[in-house]
Homo-oligomer: A and B are copies of this chain.
Amino acid sequence: MTATDPDGYGQLAASLRRLIDVSIRSEVDADAVAAAQAKIDSATEDLSTLTRPGSFGIQQSPDGNPVAWGNVVIGRRNPVAPPLTINWNDDESVWSEFSLGAAYEGPDGHVHGGVCALLLDHVLGATAHQPGRPAVTGTLTVRYLRGTRLGVHLRAEARIDRVEGVKTFVVGHIADDAGATVRAEGIFFHPT
């Protein structure tokens, strides 16, 4: 536990991400699998004694900011999230650097194309967000240029192309060290 993770849930999710990864790649025998499963079920019991119903939702921090720790892309206590950290430039464009392991596989050794769509939806949407006014996706178009490899350094970027009335048009991509692998265009709205 730390000042920014007072109850240790961020560290718990980090441990779970390691467990998820190795559970996919493990080749131990049935007895060892059963032993691990017993520990997993016991941990589930420990955490089940006090739960909120449904989902994490969007909670508020003590200083009033929204906390999306359960979010499937950026949520630090959601083990399914890589999680991405979104960085804002002064011109409202955004970027994020990350790599993706075995849990995000589609084609052999490659990131599932749908995972690229998931991450791009979030990164493009982040440019359209305004304080207290989250944007929702109207349309997302994803163009696959070539495969995106697991286990390599990746960078996602997005910027606002133009605003027309209630619509914000955003463009972005995911790139490896050899250039873009997937490009996307999104149209976002601010719900009234």
Contact = CB atoms under 8 A, between A and B. Distances in A.
Interface residues of A, number: 88
Interface stretch (A70-78, A91-99, A165-173): A70-78
Interface string A1-30: 100001111011101101110111111111
A140 B34 CA distance: 40
Interface in A54-68: 54-58
Contacts of A105: 55-57, 70-72, 75, 78
Nearest to A125: B113
Contacts of A6: 30
Contacts of A157: none
Nearest to A20: B79
A146 B33 CA distance: 42
A142 interface: yes
Contacts of A58: 107-108
A88 interface: no
A104 B50 CA distance: 21
Identical chains bound together, number: 2
A145 to B, nearest CB: 10
Given A30-B1, A108-B57, A12 B25 contact: no
Contacts of A120: 114
A112 B107 contact: no
A31 to B, nearest CB: 9
Closest 3 CB pairs of A and B: A114-B121, A114-B118, A55-B102
Interface of A: 1, 6-9, 11-13, 15-16, 18-20, 22-30, 32-37, 39-44, 46-58, 70-73, 75, 77-80, 101-109, 112-115, 117-122, 125, 134, 136-144, 150-151
20 contacts: A1-B34, A7-B29, A7-B30, A9-B23, A9-B26, A12-B36, A16-B40, A18-B41, A23-B47, A24-B75, A26-B47, A27-B50, A32-B47, A39-B39, A43-B43, A70-B102, A75-B105, A114-B118, A121-B142, A139-B142
